Amino acid sequence: MISQKKLLRDGKLHIFLLGSGGPMNNDKRVASSIGLIAGKQFLLFDVGPGSYRNVDVMRLPAENLSAIFLTHFHSDHIGDLGEANMLSWVNGRDHPLDVYGPKGVERVVKGFEMAYKLDTGYRIAHHGSDIMSQENAKMISHTISFETTTERILCFNRNGLKVFAFEVEHPPIKPALGYRIEYKGNVIAITGDTIKTTDLITHCKNADILFSEAISYIMLNNIISGAQKLNLERYAKILTDIQNYHMNPLTAAELAQEAHVKKLVFVHITPPLSTEKAEKLYLKGVDEKFDGEIVLGKDCMKFQFEEK
Ligand SMILES: [Zn+2]
Ligand SMILES: [Zn+2]
């Protein structure tokens, strides 16, 4: 399929919600991933399982993939790293792929490279090294390290597109990151997985668009009571445990309000919302907490920003 290369050249900022779901698999939403095209660069933020297929579904220019930024190494954020590297290389990427993340990114990258090593070899043997360069199949890991927990680090800066990383609170995962992206006066904030903190409010300040994780605890607790009745104790425990390191939709709406963001997009949506009634319950009360525009994230949604 012919990719939309023109997106790279129109001078605008394009955002693609490739995966709006969380760790609970369902037929509506795949796991975390956001694509961004600006300043002739194509970036991915997280590559959760199943999300890379939407790069093809949305006809994004895979061969121009410049870099991937990981928030942390929970599997719902990294599962498609091997696919992203392999398929962008097969599509004609003419450089190794840069992968940024917190401490530990080197191990994750090495592990995926190892798992895909045989596949890389098959493709070189089959199509020839003239078009399948061994060198370009590589990934290069970049560890983002912090001196203090409150700082914001500029980790990518090309053609006016700036990506800053900051630390978030997702214990016991340490460090876990969020990202703030700036381009031509527009600001995008991505929370990653986290609880709400005063530092997070600062890092999301005045964003034109905030992609915030949110897990509905009301809905999760309904599932937990059902599970307890059925003696599914293991399931009930896991769903109880995850409530201490995420935000619920109301908290995310408070974050958006306190950070004065313009538009809030819910992502990492958990539990799966299979009916309209479930969507309503997930969003219940958020409009009382946040005055701006609220969007329930769905896979393959697009957002576009002009120069300010
Ligand atoms: Zn996580
Ligand atoms: Zn997650």
| Domains of the chain (ranges, CATH numbers) | 11-305 (3.60.15.10)
Ligand approaching nearest to the C-alpha of 76: 2
- DSSP state, 72? -
Query: Rounded to the nearest whole angstrom, what is the distance from the C-alpha of residue 28 to the centroid of ligand 2?
Result: 16
- 153 pLDDT tier (thresholds 50, 70, 90): very high
Q: Strand runs (DSSP E) across 64-143, as ranges?
A: 65-69, 97-101, 139-143
Q: Strand runs (DSSP E) across the chain, as ranges?
A: 13-19, 33-38, 41-45, 65-69, 97-101, 139-143, 152-158, 161-170, 173-183, 186-190, 209-215, 263-270, 293-296, 301-305
Q: Are 288 and 8 in contact (CB under 8 A)?
A: no
Q: With a cut of 80, say whether residue 2 has pLDDT above it.
A: no
258: left (phi over 0), alpha (psi -120 to 50) or beta: alpha
Quickly count: other Cβ atoms within 10 Å of residue 221's Cβ: 13
- Across the range 205-226, mean pLDDT stands at 95
Query: Rounded to the nearest whole angstrom, what is the distance from the C-alpha of residue 170 to the centroid of ligand 1?
Result: 7
For residue 5, the model assigns a pLDDT of 87
Query: Rounded to the nearest whole angstrom, what is the distance from the C-alpha of residue 195 to the centroid of ligand 2?
Result: 12
Query: Rounded to the nearest whole angstrom, what is the distance from the C-alpha of residue 268 to the centroid of ligand 1?
Result: 10
For residue 149, the model assigns a pLDDT of 82
Residues 6+ apart with CB under 8 A from 155: 69, 100, 142, 144, 163, 164, 165
- Report if pTM > 0.85: yes
For residue 1, the model assigns a pLDDT of 60
Tokens matching residue 150: 């409150």
- DSSP state, 275? S
Ligand approaching nearest to the C-alpha of 77: 2
- 4 pLDDT tier (thresholds 50, 70, 90): confident
Query: Rounded to the nearest whole angstrom, what is the distance from the C-alpha of residue 1 to the centroid of ligand 1?
Result: 33
CA 9 to chain centre: 23
H helix count then E strand count, the chain: 11, 14
Query: Rounded to the nearest whole angstrom, what is the distance from the C-alpha of residue 104 to the centroid of ligand 2?
Result: 17
Q: Each residue of 285-304: pLDDT tens digit?
A: 999 999 999 999 999 999 99
Interatomic CA distance for residues 297 and 308, integer angstroms: 25
Query: Rounded to the nearest whole angstrom, what is the distance from the C-alpha of residue 72 to the centroid of ligand 1?
Result: 7
Query: Percent of the chain having pLDDT more than 70?
Result: 99
